[in-house]
Amino acid sequence: MRGEVLHYDEDQGFGFITGADGNRYTFTREDLRREASMARGTTVEFQPGGGKARDIFSISAHPVSPTAIAPTATTAMPQASDTPATVAAQPQHFGRFAGSGPTEATGLWSYFWRALTQNYVNFAGRARRKEYWGYFLFWVISSIVVAGVGLFIDEAIGNFDGNESAVVTVGLCGLFLLATFLPSLGLTVRRIHDIGLSGWFYLLVFIPTIGSLIILVFALIPTQGRENQWGPVPAGVRI
């Protein structure tokens, strides 16, 4: 996949890439195919997976300044006289620096669906408050629907007529909890990253009585209004 370097700290050996799909990926020095300058704006090719970029190599020797993306009166926009080859040769940009291109949807349902698909096992990056609460809103709605379907089936097959328990309801709810465990965990870790803390703080949930309350407080804290070590400010957040 093609992408653009958002940030790379050569001292720490850690950085971020915006891919052509509009998503952000983390990478380390070990993920570079060869040692090269990874200045902001450098166009690269990489292999995406689990929120991380691997096998990265630069295809742009000279990073383009963000100001070069905006059209001016004298340049940037293709003219009628441009040949297809000339237009194709112009540098392409992706993600939040793109003049046009794919952007991440920031609707509540979009956050929920993305958590269950492309972010299913993603523990890297950041998640804003809207993403966190949008996911769990639809998670609660989905769990109610699953329980309702289970109760309907149990009633239809007569599980409530005798001493039998609601086995279908219990089974469906158990499968739902199991299927959504990893995306829920990953989202919570990313929400903790978003306020500038390590995801390992999630282990506080195991403290009796107050552990869950601490995680709830973390989920309510506003987004850290600057880039931190886990990534840039999430899309849609006004700084």
pLDDT tens-digit readout, 20-48? 877 888 888 778 877 667 788 888 888 88
Separation between Cα atoms, residue 106 and residue 222, nearest integer Å:
16
- Provide mean pLDDT across the span 40-58: 82
Strand duo 2-9 + 14-19: pairing: antiparallel
Domain count, the chain: 2
The CATH number of the domain where 92 resides is what? Answer: 2.40.50.140
Q: Is residue 114 part of a domain?
A: yes
Write down the pLDDT at residue 187.
95
Same domain, yes or no: 21 and 115:
no
Q: Is residue 237 part of a domain?
A: no
CA atoms within 13 A on the CB side of 192: 20
pTM, entire model: 0.57
The rounded distance, in Å, linking the Cα atoms of 121 and 134 is 18
Strand partners, 48: 53
186-237 residue pLDDT tens: 999 999 999 999 999 999 999 998 999 999 999 999 999 888 989 888 887 8
Same domain, 92 and 112: no
Position 75 pLDDT exceeds 60: no
Model confidence pLDDT, tens digit, residues 131-158: 999 999 999 999 999 999 999 998 888 7
Residues 88 and 126 in one domain: no
Domain boundary residue among 97, 129, 157? Answer: 97
